[in-house]
Amino acid sequence: MKRYWFVFCQSDIVLEKLSDGTYTIPFSENAPAFVKSSATVHTITPFEDGSEVRAVSLDIPVIDDPRYEMCGLRASYYKLNINLYNKAGKCQEILYWDQNTRFCGVCGGPMKLHTDISKRCTVCGKEVWPQLSTAVIVLISRGDEILLVHARNFRGTFYGLVAGFVETGETLEEAVRREVKEEIGLAIKHLRYFGSQPWPYPSG
C-alpha cells in the first residue's frame, strides 16, 4: 500500500522532484531511503482523503539519489502545497518530541511509545504527550499606521511585530498585554483575537 513518507535528517526533509520542476512528498510503499531497523517509523494522522502518513528520522541525509532533494522545513513552504507543508510540520514535531523524551522526567526510566501521540514510562508508568509552547504575536495599530519593533536579537535591520511566549497561568490576552508592556512600554486597548496557526520550529 502506498503512503506518504515524511523523511527527515535533522531539520531537513526529503522532497521528491517531479519532471515539471515542482516538488512533492515521496508517496510509495516503502521509505524512499534506507531506514535502520532501530529507527522508529511514526504513524501520523492520515490526510482527509485517507492517505496514510509515516514519519521517520535518518542519521544521514539522502544525497545520492537524483530523484530526491533535502530541504529545510521553512524553505519547503515555497516548494510544497499547503497540505503537505502543514503535515511536514506535524511530522517534524512528532520526531522532535520523540527524540527529546527518551527518558522519564519523574524516574529516569526509558520511555516507550504508547499511542501515536503519547509515550509511557516503562518503569513508573508516567505518560507524556507532545508539548506545545504557546506564543502570541500582536499587530498594534493606530489609525492606518502599525507599530513595528526592532529587537536586539534580530539579525539585520528588519522590523517585526511584538511577540512572545505565553507564561503558565496566563490567558492569551494577558500575555499580549504583558509582552507589549515589556517590549515597548505601551498599554493597549481594543484587543481583538485574529487567528491561530501551528508553528513547528519546534513545538510552537
Binding residues for Zn ion, rule: CB under 5 A, are: 104, 106-107, 109, 121, 123-124, 126
42 beta partners: 55
CB of 132 to Zn ion, least distance (A): 22
Q: With respect to Zn ion, which residue has the nearer C-beta, 3 or 119?
A: 119
**Chain-centre distance of CA 47, in angstroms?**
17
Q: Minimum distance from CB of 57 to Zn ion (Å)? A: 24
**Min separation Cβ 93 and Zn ion, Å:** 23
Least distance in Å: CB of 117 to Zn ion?
Answer: 19
Of the pair 123, 163, the CB lying nearest Zn ion is at 123
Report d(CA 150, CA 179) in Å as an integer.
Answer: 14
CA distance 203 to 201: 6
What's the closest the beta carbon of residue 100 comes to Zn ion, in angstroms? Answer: 16
Beta carbon nearer to Zn ion, 51 or 100: 100
Q: Which is nearer to Zn ion, 121 or 180 (CB)?
A: 121
8 Å CB contact between 165 and 135: yes
Cell numbers for 141: 495599530
Among residues 182, 192, 15, the alpha carbon closest in space to that of 88 is found at 15
Residue (110 or 160) nearer to Zn ion, CB: 110
**Torsion from C-alpha of 159, 165, 171, 177, nearest 10 degrees:** -30
